[in-house]
Structure 1
Amino acid sequence: MTALYQKNDTLQETLLSFENGSENKTDWNIVKDLFTLTKAEIADKWYGGKDNSIGFIFKE
């Protein structure tokens, strides 16, 4: 609904322009990054690179 209100063409435009005022910005940033960053950028930002992200997948 925010995208329609702001007259953005894509959800990505809306996410890039939306400022979340909640206390838990980490959750918001993860959601935002999933829609706006590439896979490599997500691996670098959230896991310290591709090699580190593999360990997260297979972590017990």
Structure 2
Amino acid sequence: MEEEIGASVADVGLPEALRAALDDLVTDPEVARRSAQPRADARSEGGTRRAADLIENMLV
């Protein structure tokens, strides 16, 4: 695709913008507050191990 438009992702500043957006997300106390209950719910249901087991069972 780079050949088609003559630019790469790095040329348009996407890595920096993505890094800044992710930093804003992971350091936002409101995001942490809103994420607490779904995180607790997921853990009480078996967490990532259970999720992986459910997905694997669907694939076989």
Alignment TM-score, normalising by the size of structure 2: 0.30
Answer with 1 or 2: which has the greater Rg.
Answer: 2
Higher RCO (Cα < 8 Å, 6 or more apart):
1
